[in-house]
Every structure is written in C-alpha cells, then in structure tokens.
Chain A
Amino acid sequence: MTDVYILIELLQLSIYGIVLGSILTLGAIGVSMIFGILRFAHFAHGDLITVGAYVGMGFLMMTHAPVWTALPAGMIGAAIVAVLIDQTVYKRIRRTQPVILLISSFGIGLILRSLVQVIWGPNVYSFPGGIQRPWMVWELAIIPNHLWILLAAVVIVTALHLFLTRTRIGKAMRAMSDNMDLALVTGIPAERVIMITWLLGGALAAGAGVLLGMDSRLTPTMGWNILLPVFAAAIVGGIGRPYGAIAGGMLIGLAMEISTLFLEPSYKPAVAFLIMVAVLIVRPQGIFKGAW
C-alpha cells in the first residue's frame, strides 16, 4: 500500500520536475550559447528571465490580449533588452578579458532587477487564469498549465533547433562557437552573429520567465532565484553546448523536485548546486556528449 503511495508521489514529482526542467532548459540554452560564442558566464541571465516575465505581463495588462500572447510579447521585449545591453555595455568591454564581462553582467543583473522594481513596484503579480482545477489521471494530478508550459517549451526548442541547423546564420553561430578565429578568417560577420546570439538568448530567457510566471508568480527576484539551477543545467549539460542543456535542464529539474521527498522545498536550489559541484569534480566537461 505504502509502496504504491510512494510511486504515485514520485510520479507526481516527476511531472513537476519535467515542467521545471523545461523552464530551466530555456534559460540554460541561452547561457550555453552565450558562453560558447562570447566565452563568459552571463550572470544577468536570471534577471533577463525576470524582465521577460514582466514584459509579458505588462503587455497583457495594457492590451487585455489572450494569456498566451504574453509569451511572444515577453520574448520580443527581452530580446530587445538583451541586444541593447550588449550594444551599450558588453560590446565596449568585449575586447578586454571575458572575466570583466562577468562582473559587468553581475552589475547589469542588479540594474535590471531594480528597474523591474521601479517600473512595476515590489508587488507580487500573477498571470490571469486563476487557480486551475487539475485533471486527475489515475492518481496523478495534472494541472492544465503544466501541459501548456511543456508544449510551449517543446515548440521553442524545436524552432531553435531548426534555426541552428537550417539557416546560414544559425550555422554561423555554431561555427563561431566551435572556433572564433577560423570564423573570422572565413569571413563570418562576427558582430552580426553576436547580435543574433543576444536576440535568441534574450528571447529564450523570456520564454523561461513567462512560463515560470505561469507556473507560480512574478516577483522581482524570480529570475535571480533560478539562476543557480540554470547555470547548473548548463554545466551538467556541458557549458557551451546548447543541446546538452536540454538534458541538463531535465536532470536538474527532476532532481530538484524529487528532492522535496526528503528535503525542505526551499533547499531546491542547493540540490541543483550540489549536483553541479559533483559534475564539476567528476566530469568538468559535462555529462552529456556531443556538441551543437
């Protein structure tokens, strides 16, 4: 009897884990792409996630459009913000050591978080839709929003995959990540590729943000709070390898949710961190093989 109960609990948590994992994946792919091409860990990525969520919500408040439109609106907004940040700040310090970009991005993250507070205030927001009645499948509760979140993540990742493998600029992104010097002598326009990278990174971050907001609530620190799991997903998948980030995201998401069987839920980020540290010790190149 108790065995069945534990099984149900485990399956239920796995569903949550896959939902969280798909959100983390969207963030981690961006972190991984930016690392692959610009060679630095982007510490403002969490706050880009927040910006995306708030822009999406702001769009709904202004237009009263259907809820799903928050996703494209947020993605466009955060993509523009990411490119603006790169053009005004990162571009100017790119020629120095990449590590300077890292501290700069940490500061950019704080600026973004504070801007969200200034523009939207410290209040907690939620996407409209209210509390959803879960569907009961066998003994498992499935929240409709979770299905939508998963579907949206699959669509976004598939679109990205097609972009990276079917378009010339997408292939150029992979080429630059492979070998920057060769890309330059080949005549690939680096600045243009970098701009596209920020567009995509920002859009993916916003995807994560809107979906995260649909799953819970919007707070100015929502993105910062999942930055560590996002980095963990990127590193477990092998940083600089966006496809690994999918597997990394799922693994981290599942581990975080299943850990609540025996740990306080507030320790979820610490679980992600510990897995990341274990991976760094055993296999610094990440668990999953393959490149872009």
Chain B
Amino acid sequence: MEISGIAAYLVSFFTFVGIYAILALGLNMQWGFTGQFNIGIAGFFAVGAYTSAILTTPESPWHVGGFQHPFLVGVVGAVIASALVGLLIGAITARLRTDYLAIATIGIAETLRLVIANEGWLTNGVRGMSNIDRPFSDFFQAIGLSSAMGSLIVVAAFLAGVYFLVERARQSPWGRVLRAIREDEPATAAAGKNIGRFRLEAFVVGSAIMGLGGALYAHYFGFLSPEAFLPLYGTFLVWVMLIAGGSGNNKGALLGAVVIWTIWSGSEFVMSAGLPEGYTGYAGPLRVILIGVLLQVILITRPEGILPEKAPRAIAKGRRG
C-alpha cells in the first residue's frame, strides 16, 4: 500500500473510532451511569443519520427532502429527533424492569429498520440515500485538506465536546444521583429522589448522543441504507466496546472504541489474507464469531473491563469526612 493509501486508511479508521466512541459514550450514559439496558442503539443511530440526511440533502426524485439545510442544522435535527424517540421509549418503560427496556429498545430499532426499508418516499428504502455532503468540505478544501480529513476533524471536535459534557455530568450532583440509583434504587428513592425522572433524563441524553453519532456517520460516509443499521454494527460493537473498555468510565468507553475497532477492522485484513481461495465469503461470520467470543471472555474473566470505574473523588471524600 502506498503512503497516501495508508494515510487515507488511517483517516477513515480514526473517523470510525470517533463515531463509535460517541456511541459508546451515549451508551455509557444509559448503561454505565444508570444501569439502563439499551440494546437498540442502531435505532437511535439510524434516526440521527436519516434525520440529518433528509434535512441537508439536495432535492431528489427518490425521497422526501430538498431542504438543503447546512450541516449543523442537520446535526441539531438529528439530536432532537433521537432525543424524542428516547423520550418516547424511556417514558413507556420507565417503571418496568430492565429486561423490558431491552426488549422495547430492540423492538423500536427493528421497527425503525423496517420503516426505513419499506417507506421509499421517506428514505428511498433499500436503495438508500446518497449525496450527503461531508461537513464544511468547501472550507477544508480552501485550507488544503481533503474532505475526509475535514470529517475526521469535525468528528474529533464533536467527540471532544461530548466527552467534556459527559465527564462534567458524571462528576455533577446529577451524575452522582444516577450512580446512586444504579447501586441502590430503594435507598435513593427513600432519599427523596424522583428515580423515574433521573432515569428518563439519562436515557434521553444518551439517545441524543447516539443520534449525534448517526448524523456524523451519515455525513462522513455520504450514503445511507438500512444495511448499516443492522444490530451487529449499530448495537453489538458498541456494547462490546463499552464492556471491554469499562462501563461507567468515560475513558474506558474511548479506549474500548479504539481497541475493539482495531480488532474488528484488523480481523478483516487477517481474514482476507489468511483464508484460502473460495472461502473469503466466510470472513464476515468468522469476524462476528471472533468478537462474540471476545465478549464472552471479557464477561467471564474481567467483567469490569480494562479500565474499571473508580468511585469519584467527591463520594470518597464524603465517606471519609
């Protein structure tokens, strides 16, 4: 591979890491902080991606739209739309046990995928949506950067922003209540906290972050189809990333995104190089098996992940004092 090829690969690699890291931070808000089990990440991811795509693309004979709003409007729309879906699901399942939330989220994700695949007027169905512009590509070209590099910079900036916000949230009194709910719900309720409300807030914030990830994906990749939102890519990898990195710990979510994406994309090389002629079709399922087995090994041997959650200083101090 030439130098430019390697550079292009690295840009794409880190862009995906950035997008997945954002999804993992969103999941951490729900699962890591609050113990809410969202197994329909792909659904929120898709809502964000399609909302932004519909808002920003030029007119097309194949689907609704032609609004041609700027990139940032698309992002804001994506965040709002996925937050609304999160609000709906969260409100329905707020009083129910975790398993119902899990089933409801996968239900909404699969239903959304059916809608995307079947409602051609809205999304062009399985043929997909194209012509989604990369963010600020004119600007980046003017300063001599490729649009892909520009996307990476934009993704990195959003990741930094999300990371800053979720870290602040974690250390805030709000974040402490969330963890208290996760650790001991009855005691927190007894302390006069409105559990359902805190839970719902965390769920909606997490969903909004996932929607943001979806918008960034749409604008980087430039093309959307229901295939991209299968539970494998949208949901499963994010879960493995968070659990491998260390749920409850935002740094762990970042690290997990890097490690798991490295393994996932690296396995593609290994498989295409290592599998004999005629067996390359098995690469896909074998990679899934690899990641699936990795998850089980982590759950059995190191369920707290590479970077376990530490009790934040404020609580530790409080206990000592």
Q: Which of A10-18, A150-158, A276-284 contacts B (4 or more CB under 8 A)?
A: A276-284
Residue among A118, A122, A232, A264 with most chain B CB within 10 A: A118
Complex Cα gap A228–B104 (Å) = 9
Q: A89-B300, A93-B300, A99-B37 are in contact. Are A266 and B288 (CB under 8 A)?
A: no
Q: A41-B99, A102-B99 are in contact. Are A118 and B285 (CB under 8 A)?
A: yes
Classify the interface of chain A: helix, strand, loop or mixed: helix
Complex Cα gap A40–B99 (Å) = 7
Question: Which chain B residue lies CB-closest to A234?
Answer: B103
Complex Cα gap A108–B289 (Å) = 9
Q: Which of A109-117, A164-172, A245-253 contacts B (4 or more CB under 8 A)?
A: A109-117
Residues of A contacting B236 with CB < 8 Å? Answer: 106-107, 110
Chain A contact patch, size range:
35 or more
B296 touches A107 (CB 8 A): yes
- Among the listed A98, A115, A228, A273, which residue makes an inter-chain contact with B285, where contact means beta carbons less than 8 Å apart? A115
- Among the listed B39, B110, B232, B243, which residue makes an inter-chain contact with A273, where contact means beta carbons less than 8 Å apart? B110
B95 touches A110 (CB 8 A): no
Question: Which chain A residue lies CB-closest to B296?
Answer: A89
Residue among B100, B114, B292 with most chain A CB within 10 A: B292
Question: Which chain A residue lies CB-closest to B288?
Answer: A114
Question: Which chain A residue lies CB-closest to B95?
Answer: A284
Residues of A contacting B92 with CB < 8 Å? Answer: 277, 280-281
Residues of B contacting A111 with CB < 8 Å? Answer: 288-289, 292-293
Residue among B37, B93, B103, B303 with most chain A CB within 10 A: B103
Interface residues of A (CB under 8 A from B): 35, 40-41, 43, 89, 92-93, 96, 98-100, 102-104, 106-108, 110-111, 113-115, 117-118, 121-122, 227-228, 231-232, 235, 239, 264, 266-267, 269-270, 273, 276-277, 280-281, 284
Interface residues of B (CB under 8 A from A): 35, 37, 39, 92-93, 95-96, 98-100, 102-104, 106-108, 110-111, 114-115, 117-118, 232, 235-236, 239-240, 243, 281-282, 284-286, 288-289, 291-293, 295-296, 299-300, 303
A-B residue pairs in contact (CB < 8 Å), sample of 15: A35-B99, A96-B303, A102-B39, A107-B292, A108-B292, A110-B288, A111-B288, A111-B293, A114-B285, A115-B289, A117-B282, A117-B284, A235-B100, A266-B117, A269-B111
Beyond A117-B284, A270-B110, A270-B114, 5 additional pairs, beta carbon < 8 A: A106-B235, A113-B285, A117-B282, A231-B107, A266-B114
